[in-house]
Structure formats: structure tokens, C-alpha cells
Structure 1
Amino acid sequence: MRLSRPARIALRVAAALGFTVIYVPLLLVLLNSFNAARGFGWPPSGLTLHWWADAWHSSGARAALWTSVKAGLGATAVSLVLGTLIAFAVARYRFFGREALSFVVVLPIALPGIVTGIALNTAFRTVLEPLGVGLGLFTVVVGHATFCVVVVFNNVVARLRRTSGSYEEAAMDLGANTFQVFRDITFPLVRTALLAGGLLAFALSFDEIVVTTFTAGPGIQTLPVWIFSNMARPQQAPVVNVVAAVLIIASVIPVYLAQRLSADSASGGRL
């Protein structure tokens, strides 16, 4: 389809405005992390690395960062296992309720975070607390896994639907057992999809705040929760800027890597 010159110009202007709204605030956060002034003022009165040193020595920020990493790794591990198993079931087998299962798996990422958070909080207090398991890091990992599993499932099921099951069948006809088929045929086919899904799952978990607020117990603070709780403290404003900049970088890197992996596998990763 060919667009007229005015239509192309209008689309470019709309795209530029959209990217400006999305990325200029992020750039301002990054620049503010080097602002010599104590606050969110603009333009910066000068540039300094002093606040980065303060953030590095902030025990609260370091503890929150480590909590976010642990929650992200835990949620990613759970999502990789469950998402991969469900993707293989949906893509390789035909059974009653297959479409309903796909819908149920994808639904959590479409629900408002506050709805998911309230539902999980109620479930944890009703089911786990009588068993002696209170809100804490474990419940945060479970809460994050409910929506992280979606990106793993989508990546793996898309890859499986682009590849025929005849490769596995041919390997078994030649005498390969189940483990050999998975090691030599199946895993290489889905390897980049698993890695891309895992990176996206970690990024989603790392910057999640709404579900975390409802599933974290006393004393459990992830990095986004720490930022939110310190936003109203003027003395912490410079450190908050730095931590927010770190959060942006930590979220962008896995998303970029996942995008590159998906693009490379789509262009040349087919058998």
C-alpha cells in the first residue's frame, strides 16, 4: 500500500510526538541523576556524580535492589518452567479445553495490576496464612510469576507453531530416545525463544510495583517500591533519581536483548 505524501508526513509527526512523550521523561530522569541540585528542578544547576556515590552507599537502596533481583530470578525460573510446559501442551497436542487453557494463561497480563494484587492478597491470606506461610518474598515471586509466565508462553508457543513436529518424529524413527530428541532437536529449536522470554519475564518482574505492594510482607521492599516510598522525602530526592535511572537501564537491557534474539531467530533461526 502506497501512502500519499501528506499521509506519510502526518504519520511521521504522530510517531515523533509519541516517541517524545515516551522517551523524553526517561531522558530527564537520567539527566536529573547527575543534577548537582538536591531536588527535581530543571534545568540542572550543574553535573555531579556525588548522588551516584550516595546511592551506592545507601543500605536501603542496595537491599531493595537485591530483593528485586531475587524476586525477578525466582519469577523468571517459575515462568520458564510453567510457560514452556503449557506452550508444548498447547502447540503439540490436541485436547478438550486447549483454547480455554491458552486464554487462562494469557489473561493475567491483561487484568489491571490492582485486581491481580487484591485477588492474590486475599488468596494468600486465606490459604497460606493458616498454614503458617505469611506474606514475603515467596508470595512476591508467585505474584510476579502469574503475569511473567505469559511472555514465556507466548514466545515458546510462537516458535513451536513455526516449526514442525516432524523433526522430533524423524529423530525418534532413527532410534533417538526422549532425552536425546529434546537435547538435539527440540531445545535448539526453542532455545532463543526461551532466552528471550526469560529476559522479558525478568524485566517485567524487576519493575513491577502494584502486585508487589499487595503481595509483599512487612520489611520486603523491591526497588520500585523503595522509589515510591521515598518520593515524598526531599532529602532522598537525588538518590531516588539515581535509583530510578538504574531501574530504567536495568529494564531496557533485557528488553533490548530479547528483541534482538527474537529478530535474529525470526530471520535465520528456522530449520
Structure 2
Amino acid sequence: MRLGKPARVILAVVTGLILVAVYVPLFVVLVNSFSTSTSLTWPPPGFTLEWWGKAFQSAGAMEAVLTSLQVAIVATLISLVLGTLISLALQRFTFFGREAISLLIILPIALPGIITGIALNNFFRTIMGVPLSIWTVVIAHATFCIVTVFNNVIARLRRTGTSLEEASSDLGAGIWTTFRLITFPQLRSALLAGGLLAFALSFDEIIVTTFTAGSGVTTLPIFILNNMFRPNQAPIVSVIAVVLVVVSIVPIYIAQRLSGSEQQRR
């Protein structure tokens, strides 16, 4: 399909406005992390690296980073295992209720975060009688991180088909041998891309975390929210926000590159 010149101009203008609306605020946060003002006035009266040094010396910030990393890593590992198993079950086998299960797997990523948070909070505290802790946060994050792994893996399974697996079975290979030598190599890049996206999704999640974290659990997004309006903390929060953006961009960029490379090879 070819667009006329007026349509291309309109499309370019709309795209430019959207990009400006998304990235100009991020640029402002980056500039404010170097500002000499403690109240983040604009334009900045001067520039300094003082806040970067204080941010990396902040025990609370470093503890929050470590907590976020722990939650994101464990949630990603759980998502990789469960997402892969569910994808194999739904793609390789036919049974009653398969479409309904597929819908239920995808639903958590479509629900508003506040709904998921309230539901999980009630489940942990009322039904299970479990105190909120870092493990309830991990389980909560895994519920929506599974979706990213599931979508990547099941899409790959649909493209690869079953011919190589059937040939492996015909040659006498067992289930685990076939999975190790045939299925897993075909899924490797999809698993890596799904895992990176799940990690990024978990690392900067705040709404569900707010409802499922105990009083002693502070992830990096919660630390930012708690310190945003405290005196002399705004520049440090800007530094941490910049770091959070970078940490979120890197896995998404790698996952995108992996998906693009896979499509080019095909």
C-alpha cells in the first residue's frame, strides 16, 4: 500500500508529536538529575554530579535495587519454566477447554494493575492467610510475566511445527532427548527474548507491588514513589529514575534484536 503525500505528512506529524510527548519528559528527568536545584526548577540553574554520587551512596536506594533484582530474577525464572510448559501443553496437545485456558493465561496482562493487585492482596491475606513478603511479590509478578514468555514460546512453536520432533521420535529418541536436542534449540532465542521482557516488566512494576509487598519490602519503584516529594530527595529520585529507564531499555532492546535476527534468518 502506497500513501499519498498529504497522508505521509499527517502520519509523520502525528508520529513526531507522539514521540515528543513520550520522550521529552524523559529528557527532562535526565537533565534534572544533573541540576544544582533541590526543587527541580526549570530551567536548571546549574549542573552538578553531586546527586549521582549521593544516589549510589544511598543505602536505601541500593537495598531497593537489590530487592528489585531479586524479585525480577526469581519471577523471570518461574515464568520461563511455567510459560514454556503451558505453551507446550496448549500447542502440542488437543483437549477440552484448551482455548479457555489460553485466555486465562493471557488475561493477567490485560487486566488493570490495580485490579490484579487487589485480587492478589485478598487472596494472600484472606484466603491463604499468608503475610505479605518478598515472596508474595515474586508470585504476583510471575502471574503477568508468564504471559510474555508464553506469547514468545507459543508463537515459535506454531512456526516450527512438529516434523523434526516426530522424526526424532521415529529414530528412537525419548521425550527428554527430543526436547534437549530438537525442541529446546528451536526455542532458545524465544525463551531469551521472553525472559528479558519479563525481567524488564517485573523490575519497574509498582502497582501490583504496592498491594502485595509487606511493610519491610521496598523495590526501586516504591523507593522512588516514597521519596519523590521529600525535601532534597527529588534530584536523587531523578538519578534513580534515569537508572531505572536504562535498566528497562537494555533488556527490551536485546529482546527486539533477538526477534529481528531470528526473523532475518528465517
State the distance in 1 between where 2:247 and 2:39 align: 23
Q: Counterpart in 2 of 1:211?
A: 208
1:256 maps to 2:247? no
For residues 47-78 of structure 1, give each alpha carbon's deviation from its aligned partner in whole angstroms, at most 9, with x where no partner exists: 22111110011011001110000110111011
Q: Counterpart in 1 of 2:49?
A: 49
TM-score (ref. length: structure 2): 0.98
CA-CA distance at 1:176 after TM superposition: 1.9
- For 2:56, the aligned partner's letter is W
Q: Counterpart in 2 of 1:188?
A: 185
Runs of 4+ with deviation above 6 angstroms: none
- For 1:174, the aligned partner's letter is L
- For 2:121, the aligned partner's letter is N
Q: Counterpart in 2 of 1:228?
A: 225
Q: Counterpart in 2 of 1:170?
A: 167
Moved more, 171-180 or 141-150: 171-180
CA-CA distance at 1:234 after TM superposition: 2.3
State the distance in 2 between where 1:264 and 1:56 align: 36
1:3 maps to 2:14? no
Q: Which runs of 5+ in 1 are unaligned?
A: none
CA-CA distance at 1:13 after TM superposition: 0.4
Q: Please give the residue correspondences for 1:1-271 in structure 2 after superposition, counting only pairs within 5 Å.
A: 1-129=1-129, 133-268=130-265, 270=266
CA-CA distance at 1:177 after TM superposition: 2.1
Sequence identity, in percent? Answer: 59
What secondary structure is seen at the aligned counterpart in 2 of 1:134?
A: coil
State the distance in 2 between where 1:218 and 1:178 align: 46
Moved more, 32-41 or 74-83: 32-41
What secondary structure is seen at the aligned counterpart in 1 of 2:128?
A: helix
What secondary structure is seen at the aligned counterpart in 1 of 2:146?
A: helix
State the distance in 2 between where 1:33 and 1:250 align: 16
CA-CA distance at 1:40 after TM superposition: 1.8
- For 1:109, the aligned partner's letter is I
CA-CA distance at 1:46 after TM superposition: 2.0
- For 2:8, the aligned partner's letter is R
Output the aligned Cα RMSD.
Answer: 1.0
CA-CA distance at 1:179 after TM superposition: 2.2
- For 1:99, the aligned partner's letter is E
TM-score (ref. length: structure 1): 0.96
State the distance in 2 between where 1:57 and 1:231 align: 17
- For 2:212, the aligned partner's letter is T
CA-CA distance at 1:128 after TM superposition: 3.1
State the distance in 2 between where 1:222 and 1:172 align: 47
CA-CA distance at 1:224 after TM superposition: 0.3
State the distance in 1 between where 2:98 and 2:210 align: 33
CA-CA distance at 1:266 after TM superposition: 1.7
